[in-house]
Amino acid sequence: MREFSLPARYEVAADASLPELLRINAERHPDVAVIARAVDGGWEDVSATRFRAEVRAVAKGLLAAGVRPGERVGLMSRTRYEWTLFDFAIWTVGAITVPVYETSSAEQVAWNLKDSGAVAVLVETEEHRAAVESVRDQLPELSRVWCLVPGEGAGAVAELTAAGSDVPDAELDAATATLTPDSPATVIYTSGTTGRPKGCVLTHRAFLSVCGNVVAALGPLFHTGDSSVLLFLPLAHVFARMVEVAALLAPITLGHVPDVRSLTDDLASFRPTIVLGVPRVFEKVYNSARAKARDERKLWIFDRAADTATAYSRALDTPRGPSPALRLRHRLFDRLVYRRLRAVLGGRATHAISGGAPLGERLGHFYRGIGFTVLEGYGLTETCAPTAFNPWDAPRIGTVGRPVPGTAVRVEDDGEVLVTGEHLFSGYWGGEHADDERTPDGWFRTGDLGSLDEDGYLTLTGRKKEILVTAGGKNVAPAVIEDRVRAHPLIAECMVVGEGRPFVGALITLDDEFLPRWVAEQGLQALPRAEVLRHPKLLAAVQEAVDQGNAAVSRAESVRAFRVLPEQFTEDSGHLTPSLKLKRHVVAKDFAGEIDALYD
């Protein structure tokens, strides 16, 4: 067993709460833009003073509508300014936010709101309202539904601001004063990769502790009045919520992107100094840039530039550093290629934060080599997002970094990762399963497998529950192969199978954005999609991706056969969670025939 911890760099005050961040910002940085609101294709700065005033106005409306401290309020919307406005307004009245993914089905909406006992819900659109109304008979405690963008009327912000205009400040302050650091701030329902989602209760202390220590550790990246972050991940996910709070704790300017289809344009206009995302975002940026170079007959330049970036990054980790010749090539390609790639990401950012899945060493070295370091981190809903992340000035590519200051990570003899600290959830809503994943001394069992090096950097190797045991008794960690296979631009998803089978196989889906370009390059445009998916050229390209994955494992763990499925896995199809994780049990059930065919 190995264990590592770092001392805390931020202490949660005895009377601290999330609404206090707004008061502190208004007093210390009254004119600093803490929010940049999207307006008519541009951005409008919202100062700390103005944002606090808008939050308090909406919070008074909630009080006037009967929302009381400790009650739960649902929040169902895309990532937009109003989400953050309502999140803090709900906290200001001492209530608890229950996030609901805006892509949720009526059944999922019903479960989150009924299980949490929500008394009210804010939705973004009339379609969302219709989803709530369709299950209203299952929600006896739900009394109010507000809509941000209604078919008629002024909308939730104006409605609640008007309703609360006569509520005195003292009444609102009294509601806020009911909060302590250990008051629940939110109930986040887990993605549900296995079974019914559980409501994870995160306190004000959990958010303040993790965000305060992250901001302190990444201090040079958080310059009040200059730094900014553009949020495009769903705010129903704990990673985005952590970033929301961290930005206002620092404070730095926070922007929101409701529609990821406009992300490239929004990055160019907002020009953030920090970018955050999941590995798939960074994979797509790389693959799109390489495909564009191919179209412009400059692929050889791009590939040489990519090789140089990777070599340069790897050399940074050696005692001697990059050689003079490598430095010269690096400067040349910076003028020809790297600057353009950084411009796609806004042009100002030098660092990104990535979580949700492994990025992989190949892309990690590539991005650091072009002057855009992606800091990988690791965490779960139960750890209020990060429990480890890479230092801004000493990243180790291929690892998920060191423990958040003030927390500790332990790796048991069987490889399972355990964590402890103030950032841990207080339990599951309703009290069920409260001690299922905790040791007698309070450590949380993550279910992930990994190892700690002598400096405390954590490397993940897979999920304990996802380990496959073949008929020959070989243990196989799917993540190692899957991450490598997904790095190929043609591949959208790869799911390794083989439990109790004679060898390891895989189900493969193709990237619908990249596939048409590849088909055109191969001269196969005239063929129907079904024939393309069976064509020897495509199967050879997929085999190339599989070979890349197999190179990372032993022969006994390697994929011997694969099936290309006709369509991508999506959230709508029920095969991905809202945070884009595979629902393995659903895929295995729906494609049982395809899996069996692998072994015929």
Q: Are residues 115 and 126 in the same domain?
A: yes
262 part of a folded domain: no
Domain CATH for 428: 3.40.50.12780
184 falls within a domain: no
Tell me how far apart the alpha carbons of residues 442 and 459 are, in angstroms, rounded to a whole number: 23
> Can you give the pLDDT at residue 194?
47
pTM: 0.85
Which residue range is the domain that position 575 belongs to? 467-598
Contact 568, 493 (CB under 8 A): yes
In a domain, 193, yes or no: no
Q: Are residues 557 and 430 in the same domain?
A: no
Cα(232)–Cα(125) distance, rounded to whole angstroms? 18
| DSSP state letters, 72-120 | EEEEE--SSHHHHHHHHHHHHTT-EEEEE-TT--HHHHHHHHHHHT-SE
| Alpha carbons 250 and 268: distance in angstroms, whole number | 23
Q: CA 212, CA 202: separation in Å to the nearest integer?
A: 15
Residue 583 and residue 490 in one domain: yes
Residues 471 and 354 in one domain: no
Closest among 233, 346, 239 to 285, alpha carbons compared: 346
- 405 and 478 inside one domain: no
Pairwise CA distance, residues 192 & 381, whole Å: 12
Q: Using CA atoms, how far apart are residues 86 and 74, in angstroms rounded to an integer?
A: 10
Q: Which two tokens stand for residue 330?
A: 């690096």
Check whether residue 101 and residue 82 sit in a common domain: yes
The ranges of the chain with pLDDT < 70 are: 191-195, 432-436, 579
Same domain, 88 and 141: yes
How far is the C-alpha of 196 from the C-alpha of 576, rounded, in Å? Answer: 15
User: 404 and 210 in contact (C-beta within 8 Å)?
Assistant: yes
What is the CATH classification number for the domain harbouring 528?
A: 3.30.300.30
What's the pLDDT at 436?
Answer: 64
Instruction: Please give the Cα distance from 539 to 519 (Å, whole number).
Output: 12
Predicted local distance difference test score (pLDDT) of residue 71: 98
The answer as to whether 121 is a domain residue is yes
Of the candidates 53, 18, 69, 70, the one whose C-alpha atom is nearest the C-alpha of residue 171 is: 69
Query: Domain check: are 129 and 96 in the same one?
Result: yes
What is the total count of domains within the chain?
A: 3
> What confidence score (pLDDT) does residue 574 get?
84
Torsion of CA 344, 216, 428, 67, to 10 degrees: -90
Do residues 456 and 471 share a domain?
A: no
In a shared domain, residues 498 and 436: no
Selection from 425, 383, 12 nearest residue 181 by Cα: 12
Q: Are residues 29 and 99 in the same domain?
A: yes
d(C-alpha 174, C-alpha 68), whole Å:
11
Query: Between helices 299-316 and 361-369, what is the axis angle to 10°?
Result: 90
What is the rounded distance in angstroms from the CA atom of residue 570 to the CA atom of residue 559? Answer: 23
Q: Is residue 207 part of a domain?
A: no
Instruction: Please report where in the chains the tokens 């295995």 appear, as a residue.
Output: 588
Q: Write down the pLDDT at residue 193.
A: 46
**Alpha helices, DSSP H only, in 334-427?**
339-344, 361-369
| Cis preceding-peptide flag for 251 (omega within 30 of 0) | yes
Q: Are strands 120-123 and 184-189 parallel, antiparallel or unpaired?
A: unpaired
